[in-house]
Structure 1
């Protein structure tokens, strides 16, 4: 795409200094305006051709304020907060960073599984009480079944790592298609059959109209008494109040939660004080390698964009919401 004027690129996300310098040196055909919030970026929106955002700060009004905007690059995988109707009406391209979370999130899931299997919390409590619990038996992962809801990049990497521990891997996806590293895959319509097998149930589903509050009382009732539920997908795919009831009734053993219906998790949420819950503040995909990986996707797509091609990586289908 030949152009006499430089492309105007604005960020509403705080980008590391070394990565800002890398972008500026690699793309002299663009003027980069590095802001740390959408409030700051608003001053440049009227001239912006390309917007980099984490995806939670763009409103319909910002689309209206940016008549030159041609492309929004979301530096995360989640795009559910984006104003899809406004973006589609304006004919704006949107891409995201799905796929870059596979390594850290799969590692988080395996940490959560090992944490529970090897009784880390029991040992911590014994240490606090100065008790020598030498008769405590831990679990082995070999032959245990991990059921993974979502067989994309993150789910596949999770299954690959689980295979190193000789676990049985069962996946759930839209149509039950086979996926590498999974011993079996069920369609979403047959999800209940898969859940019944789980020693560890891992939710990596994105939030869409179809996954909204997908997991509730009926699904948790299918779990084994000793099962562990791990949620690193989206909080709103779970009916949180029904999850808490299931835990109180001891329908299953433990929940490891990285995502929640409301974030940050409100101080008054009972989840904070439930002994059968391990919490983390939506950080399963956050590592020092996050921004470099996300910006590599942007750099690839910027070359596609500037050359007038259409073979974008991670193009978001606006009509589908992902």
Structure 2
């Protein structure tokens, strides 16, 4: 039981926290700002190019037969979560940038790598998880900005999408993703053979985007506006949100008569939100000074979901092992 809990000390989690500390103590200023903006743009393009190159058409086609499961995952991700987000922003203790960040969090697609990994650990339907998580992430490039435009114009948390933001989504996210996927027949083998290198580039890109976003927010006085009490409220709210969604996905899986393997897919793919997709999209949709505050709930939720899903996946695996031993 202690090993899953130690997921909080996973290197990437520590790197994220270290990046926030670095941006808080030594934010990019002056001539460094345009330099980091250019590097961030390049990192985002590379990140989504690699996401496209990693997407396997064979896995998608193989898992696409289970359309009821995939529809349930997408409904949880892009309907249930946003409804809960709209409820959250009406609470009296959820205001300002916290409200915007929490609502934005609920509009993001599911994660890919960790959803598949936890599904595999728990003994779920891995092929279906690959299909659901990949399609959710691909769809999120278009659906998340659309949901932001529709839902974040409502009272409680506001945002608007300009033509520049739409152009940025197309040029920095969608076009590189499609280019990477189109080139997969030629570069797919390289990506598969060099997974550690690709993972390093993937995570390094996220860290660079986080540093740039938090630098701008810190210069604008982020930590003067966000108190320790606000962080505690945010932590509790993210824990409650994850718990509610997990309980609902478990209930929905049983209601729809899914097998144990498919219920695991719905649990892990339907309850998670992608930091890798969320941070770049936030950087394109929100003013630079607001991005750090907006992605703060995404980062908090990311750590919580890693720890919770690691524990739950291990419990599923142990239960399956005990059942196999009895047969």
Task: State the TM-score, normalized to the length of structure 2.
Answer: 0.25
Q: Pick the structure with greater CA Rg.
A: 1
Q: Which has the higher helix share?
A: 2
Which has the higher relative contact order, 1 or 2, with Cα contacts under 8 A spaced 6 or more apart?
2
Q: Which has the higher strand share?
A: 1
